[in-house]
Amino acid sequence: MRITVAQLNPALGDIEKNFEKIVDVLSEKGKETDLIVFSELFLSGYPAKDFFKKNEFMEHIQSALDRILILSKNYPDTGILVGIPLACPQGVEGGVCNSVVLVYQGKVLDVRSKMFSGKNEFFNEAGFFSQVPDNHIITFKGKNLGVVLGDDVLNFSELNLVQEEVSIVVNMTATPFSIKTINAMHNLIKEQSEKYNIPFLFVNQVGAADELIFDGGSFYVNEKGETVLVCPFFEEHVETVETELSKKIVQYTAPEEISGICSALKQGIRDYINKNGFSKAVIGLSGGIDSAVTCVLAEQAIGAENVLGIAMPSKYSAKQSEEYSLTLSKNLGIKFETIPINGIYDAYIKTLKKQLAVDEEGDVEVYLQNIQARIRGNILMSFSNKHEYMVLATGNKSEVLTGYCTLYGDTVGGLAVIADLSKTMVYKLALYLNRDSEIIPKEIIERAPSAELKPGQKDQDTLPPYDVLDAVLFYL
């Protein structure tokens, strides 16, 4: 059987755009394959959450399915397996099921729904979907297809597919990227294939949906557990595999930790900006490593012409900070502005001096430090409002978990790009980004971290050394 893997990047909640992707795949492959397989909940995007509870949304899903039925008549030799939310069948409590339909020659030939909807670390499926005690085999063109949705494959022994003599297991999923588990699914499926002498097809979503990033990496393993097809990670890919004839064995190679993180973050930036109707990003450049790494990722994700870096020095900023930011901007070829904040800060002090009893000769207290950060946040948001830039926040996970940041200040942004990276991981990523040439000035990487909100300030005045702090935070 010729099966086409459609590893695509659906738009969350944009049924029409996702339908058009189905049209495009059929136009390209519809006359040369037996079956086209899309990912879990492809038509709605995963995870569409409260959309599933809206009658109007579900009506649009049904309308799109009706058009897929009509479209399939133009490809009478080809079946279409597509993930879709559907109203629960009679006898099942609840409103919506996480389902897959097999469309063939203008009809829904079969429907299969997810059995073990539960609560995982990414999405509380049980809060939106009903479980369906249905593990029937789909018969198509003389083959018994064991269609498995999402992490139902983790409960493979309970699906009774082996007893039903399946010809191939088709796992349609939307599995988010996690560096801890990037090889786990391939290893699991390979083991099941070898154990039960059954070929497996794994079709994963690719692209970002808000905070979730899906890495693709779809694959096919034969009944011996040998990998025959591997789709690229972090990009759309459509490819056909001959399940009986494919003899060539390929190596399944997942991205290494740091390259995987880099690719995932760039995918996340690109999709979050574009899917929210933006095309440009603005970043506050402090001369520190966090904003530098964020800026490089943005440039590589959406292009130098779409990135603006703004240095906003104060009386407490080292002269080198602006110089390093300018050098970084030149290395990347992005637009760069310098907007000093001293005048704005002094106006705050003058206005609030009496009410807050500001001692201009004393220590720069925390509230005065936060005023500086909030001024910078306001400047960035002004560029966003006026020129339609997406503000990218630059805080890292170590700062966020310890509260070493300013609410409405350096936390301002539509997307916090590195908020899931520890400070030590940010340093590793900086070195990786510089692996071929010095994009980030080495002085930025080597200098002691500082918020530069008061004279002589260093992060380690308040926090433990980051290697110690991150080791502690890892176990919290």
pLDDT at residue 117, as a whole number: 66
217 φψ region: left (φ > 0), alpha (ψ -120 to 50), beta (else): left
pLDDT at residue 136, as a whole number: 86
pTM of the model: 0.94
Domains and their CATH numbers in the chain = 2-255 (3.60.110.10), 261-474 (3.40.50.620)
Place of tokens 């907007």: 339
For residue 108, the cross-strand partners are: 103
Tokens of 290: 């966090």
* List of the chain residues with pLDDT < 50: none
Crossing angle of the two packed helices 15-29 and 55-72, in degrees rounded to 10: 10
Spatial separation of the C-alpha atoms in residues 253 and 232, rounded to whole Å: 10
CA angle 244–29–177, rounded 5-degree value: 80
pLDDT at residue 120, as a whole number: 67
SS3 of residue 91 by DSSP: coil
For residue 99, CA distances in Å to 197, 229, 245, 366 come to 26, 25, 30, 53
pLDDT at residue 442, as a whole number: 98
Spatial separation of the C-alpha atoms in residues 166 and 140, rounded to whole Å: 11
- Strands 227-230 and 219-221, by their bridges, are antiparallel
